[in-house]
Amino acid sequence: MLTLDQIETLLGVEPRKRVERKRRGGDSADKGAAYEREYALSRIIQLAVECLMSENDGTNIYLQAQALCFIDDFLVHFPDRTIFSQLKDKQKQGWDGLDEDCRHQRSCNDEADIVGCIEIVVSRADVVTKLRESCPEDLSDVALLHFETPFAGYDEAVSVMLEPYNTQNAKRDSRAHILAAWEDLGRNASLSEILWSASRLSSWTLRTLEPQFQLSEDVRNILDQIADFGYGLRARTLLYHFSNGRGHVPYECGTERWTNFENRLKLAPPSDFLEFYALLKDTQ
């Protein structure tokens, strides 16, 4: 990405002022706007599912809002390319001003040797149609996308990240957890960081993208024998549920404290939840 001084050297004073105005506007009026938040939510969960299916831990994918550039609303940085998205929640939207932003962004990408894709994302189907009909010939490679709120595919997508705890309440709460994590991280973080923070806020109900810890067969057999008890893993965190509620082991699997817990578990296998919980408290 170019600095303001580099933008001025490349394009002139007025384009620099344009970026500065866009940045001031993004930091004030647009911050937390419903459309931008819902779009961010959709991209976070879509990318999370894609990474989960491809066993990508998400550490090399960065998401950014209100960047210092011309197409600045939402950026996704992959190792080999960056997607620049401008979001428009308007009843009418023409190319005036938008066309120059796209051209300037393309010039900046070329100067910085960035492989960039530009997207214009709008909230109304008729606006997309009109933009396509009037698209300048030199901007035919700009993607014109229609995105309506609320994100219709959210529940189905997030179910993958919640399994086996994909209840309606968990789906509802996960929206707040993901968006809170996004805001807490300054709307500029890796996908891995966003999911880890959201998972922590959800008491680990929402999974992270870290590799799953593998329980030993001895431990699985012991846990399987506890009456009215179930368990699951979120990366390196063991979750459990029983007839009256649920919880999680307050330290990560594979640590010294976990090894101590495993040894105690094998010496005195618990037969019910109360015995399991007592053992857990003793090893904290």
For the stretch 27-63, pLDDT in tens is 545 544 889 999 999 999 999 999 999 989 999 999 9
How far, in Å, CA of 111 to CA of 168, rounded? Answer: 48
Phi, psi of 137 (to 5 degrees): -60, -35
- Cα→Cα distances 89→16, 93, 124, 147, Å: 25, 9, 8, 9
Structure tokens at 49: 């599912």
For the stretch 68-121, pLDDT in tens is 999 999 999 999 999 999 999 999 999 999 999 999 999 999 999 999 999 999
How are beta strands 237-242 and 245-248 bridged, if at all?
Answer: antiparallel
Q: What is the pTM of this model?
A: 0.85
- Cα→Cα distances 259→101, 226, 230, 239, 249, Å: 57, 20, 20, 17, 13
